[in-house]
Amino acid sequence: MWQQLYAELKDKGFMVVAVAEESRGADHARPWIEQASSDYWQLIDTEHRLEDLYNLVNVPQAIWIDEQGRIVRPPETAGSTDHFRRMDLETRTMSPEDQAERQAARQAYLDAVRAWVDTGKHALSADATRAGLPKVTPAIAEARARFRLGVWLRTHGNTVEGDRQMNEASSLHPDSWSLWRQAADLDEVGKASGMEFWKRVKALGDQPYYPPPKL
């Protein structure tokens, strides 16, 4: 997904780390990774540790980190848009206008990454970065622990209790699409983008599924 960007910028002290939030494990992610034939890091995160550490709620989200290891942009949507919400569910296609807008938004995001690498543009001040960080609440912290236990129970054969823990995790942190969709996917591949998913997306109303980055 990021190979072209990486190839273009790698000689300018730039690295891409792509993390698969994939509780089914490396073998499940392998076909996508092999197809991407990328030479940046492709890591497997079966426990969704990165989401715990960085308080993430969906994929794809990105964090920009500078040469000193400092966060210069908080977690935000990485190139995706909400145009998919208007797609024709029968044919799974978007209107040409929506496709063009979606492509333009993605391009604008990639251009922002290029500008950051070239000139430092779009790196936020410490205060602005902090202001963009979503707060971890005690409910979110509990959701992470329940999710961790749920994944462990599932991988050790206790599906029923594992599911119960994961469902509780999702209720405690309803803003996290990752918790809900990962649990749905573990239940059955494809379920994460099935009828229940669309019902949940519809219930968002005017709220974004992919909040646009504030570039």
Partner 1 sequence: MTVVLTPTEQFDVEARDGLWMAAVDAERVTGWTLKPEGMCRAELCVPLPASVTNGTEVDVEAFWKKLGAPVIASEARDVWALGAPADERNAALEGLQAPDFTLPDIDGTPRSLSQLRGKKVFLATWASW
Binding residues with partner 1: total (CB under 8 A): 80
Min separation Cβ 110 and partner 1, Å: 10
Closest distance to partner 1 from the beta carbon of 192 (Å):
4
- The yes or no reply on residue 102 touching partner 1 (CB under 8 A) is no
Contact characters 155-194, partner 1, x per CB under 8 A: ---x--x---x------------x--xx-xx---x--xx-
- How near is the Cβ of 115 to partner 1 at its closest, in Å? 12
Query: HSE (CB half, 13 Å, CA atoms) of 71?
Result: 16
Window 31-60: residues binding partner 1 (CB under 8 A)? 32-33, 41-45, 47, 49-56, 59-60
User: Cα separation of 118 and 148, whole Å?
Assistant: 39
Closest listed residue to residue 63, CA positions, set 213, 180, 178, 196: 213
Within 79-98, which residues bind partner 1 (CB under 8 A)? Answer: none
Q: Which of 169, 113, 104 has the alpha carbon at shortest distance from 141?
A: 169
User: Please, what is the minimum distance in Å from the beta carbon of residue 22 to partner 1?
Assistant: 6
Residue from 11, 90, 96, 138 that binds partner 1 (CB under 8 A)? 138
* Long-range pairs of 125-132 with CB within 8 A, sequence gap ≥ 24: 129/71, 129/72, 129/73, 129/74, 130/74, 132/73, 132/74, 132/76, 132/214
Q: Looking at beta carbons only, is 68 or 91 nearer to partner 1?
A: 68
Three-point CA angle 32, 35, 36, nearest 5° = 85
Pick between residue 100 and residue 108 the one whose CB is nearest to partner 1. 108
Nearer to partner 1, 7 or 15 (CB): 15
Q: CA–CA separation, 47 vs 49, rounded Å?
A: 5
Q: Cβ distance 105 to 81 under 8 Å?
A: yes
- The stretch among 7-15, 85-93, 97-105, 207-215 that binds partner 1 (CB under 8 A) is 7-15
Q: Which is nearer to partner 1, 100 or 121 (CB)?
A: 121
